[in-house]
Each structure stands twice: as structure tokens, then as C-alpha cells.
């Protein structure tokens, strides 16, 4: 090996640039020897397989919207009023002769209004003033205030309720099988008008598609 290397250096060492070529040759041979050594060392080392990272479970994916603040919105107070009314009306309309499957949608304008008892105090005060020219004027002021009347129940103060006003229905949509017949449609309209005290222009009745 050494004899072969000396012959190669002798061949490339001629001329003015010979020593430089010999140094370059030695560096190239050194780099090549280091590369071969690394390859041989790598072939003898044991290879340990790397397991892939665990994929996120469906539960963590499902929890992401909640973490981002997209939690399910609570039911509105209007929906809590409308749904029982819809279910009750569907139950009653299904009992009418000629009416098949029925779906109802009701919208209300407000929630239930509660009127409580108050002790109302009214007072009136009149004042007369005279200006420089002898003219007189009368000023009257009115004051009205009220205090909620409470009663005690189980150790708690509770206001006295004098009246409860049901929510005003804005509109009713009815999709019913059999509503294509004028007689059945008239029965449905009459039942809704009298049962919910809703004028005709706020009620829409349409027939449903046949199966």
C-alpha cells in the first residue's frame, strides 16, 4: 500500500506545482479513508427502530372546540317557551279527523310578563311666584313612587304577584298531511285561532309531501 502511494506521489510530484498536487492528493485520500471508516462502523452498529408518535385520539380532537371557546350555546328563554307550545299543538292537531303527521313551529315576541304589587305614593306640590312686574305664575309638581309589597315565605321575602301575562305569539307555521283538503285546513285554522287566540294572518298552514 505504501509502495503504491509513493509511486503515485512520484508521478504527480513533477514540475513546479508538484508539491501542491501531492498535498491535495494526500487530503483527498484522507477524506476518502474517513468516509469508508464511517460506513464500516455504521454497518456494525445495531439499528433501533423509532416508533411513530401517538396520534391524537378522537376525544382530544372533539375537545378542541371547547378549548377554543366554541362551547355549545345554552337554549334561549324563547326556545324554552316555544317548544312546549309546539309539542302541545302537534298533539292536539294530530287528533283532528283527516290530519296525518304534523309539524309545528311557533315564534313568540317576548317571555312571560309578571306584574307585582306596589304601594304607590303620589304627591302634588303647587308653588306661586311673583316676578318684578307683579305678574304671578303657578308651578305644579307631581311626584309618584312605589314600593314593592313583600310577604314572608319560609323565612324569605317574596314579592306579591298580581298578574302574569302570557307571551305574545308572533306567528305559527303548520305543516300537516291532509291540509291540502280545504275542510281539513279549515278545521286546523279554527282550532289554532280559538286555542291560542292568534289572528288568522299570523297562521300559515301548508300540506306536507306525501311519502
For the domain 77-112+166-207, what is the CATH code? Answer: 3.30.300.30
pLDDT at 71: 53
Q: What is the rounded distance in angstroms from the CA atom of residue 94 to the CA atom of residue 204?
A: 17
Q: What is the rounded distance in angstroms from the CA atom of residue 96 to the CA atom of residue 178?
A: 10
CATH 3.30.300.30 domain span(s) along the chain: 77-112+166-207
pLDDT at 4: 57
What are the tens digits of pLDDT across the range 128-175? 777 777 777 667 676 766 677 776 777 777 777 777 778 888 999 999
Answer for the pair 187, 193: CB distance below 8 angstroms, yes or no: no
pLDDT at 81: 85
In the chain (211 residues long), the average pLDDT of successive 10-residue segments reads: 59 59 69 73 61 55 50 68 91 92 90 73 73 70 70 75 81 93 94 91 91 71
Phi, psi (degrees; rounded to nearest 5) at 161: -90, 120
* pTM of the predicted protein model: 0.47
- Give all strands (DSSP E) within 131-202, no chain letters: 136-148, 150-153, 156-159, 161-165, 169-176
Amino acid at each position: 500500500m505504501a509502495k503504491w502511494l509513493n509511486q503515485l506521489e512520484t508521478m504527480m510530484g513533477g514540475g513546479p506545482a508538484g508539491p501542491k498536487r501531492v498535498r491535495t492528493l494526500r487530503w483527498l485520500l484522507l477524506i476518502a479513508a474517513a468516509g469508508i471508516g464511517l460506513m464500516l462502523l455504521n454497518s456494525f452498529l445495531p439499528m433501533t427502530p423509532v416508533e411513530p408518535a401517538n396520534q391524537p385520539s378522537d376525544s382530544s380532537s372533539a375537545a378542541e372546540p371547547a378549548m377554543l371557546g366554541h362551547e355549545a350555546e345554552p337554549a334561549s328563554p324563547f326556545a324554552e317557551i316555544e317548544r312546549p307550545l309546539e309539542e302541545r299543538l302537534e298533539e292536539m292537531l294530530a287528533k283532528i279527523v283527516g290530519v296525518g303527521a304534523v309539524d309545528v313551529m311557533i315564534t313568540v315576541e317576548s317571555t312571560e310578563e309578571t306584574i307585582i304589587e306596589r304601594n304607590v305614593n303620589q304627591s302634588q306640590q303647587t308653588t306661586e311666584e311673583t316676578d318684578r312686574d307683579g305678574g304671578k305664575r303657578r308651578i305644579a309638581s307631581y311626584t309618584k313612587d312605589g314600593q314593592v309589597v313583600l310577604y314572608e315565605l319560609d323565612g324569605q321575602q317574596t314579592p306579591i304577584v298580581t298578574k302574569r301575562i302570557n307571551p305574545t305569539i308572533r306567528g305559527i307555521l303548520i305543516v300537516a298531511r291532509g291540509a291540502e283538503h280545504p275542510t281539513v285546513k279549515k278545521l286546523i285554522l279554527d282550532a289554532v285561532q280559538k286555542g291560542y287566540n292568534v289572528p288568522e294572518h299570523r297562521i300559515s298552514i301548508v300540506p306536507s309531501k306525501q311519502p
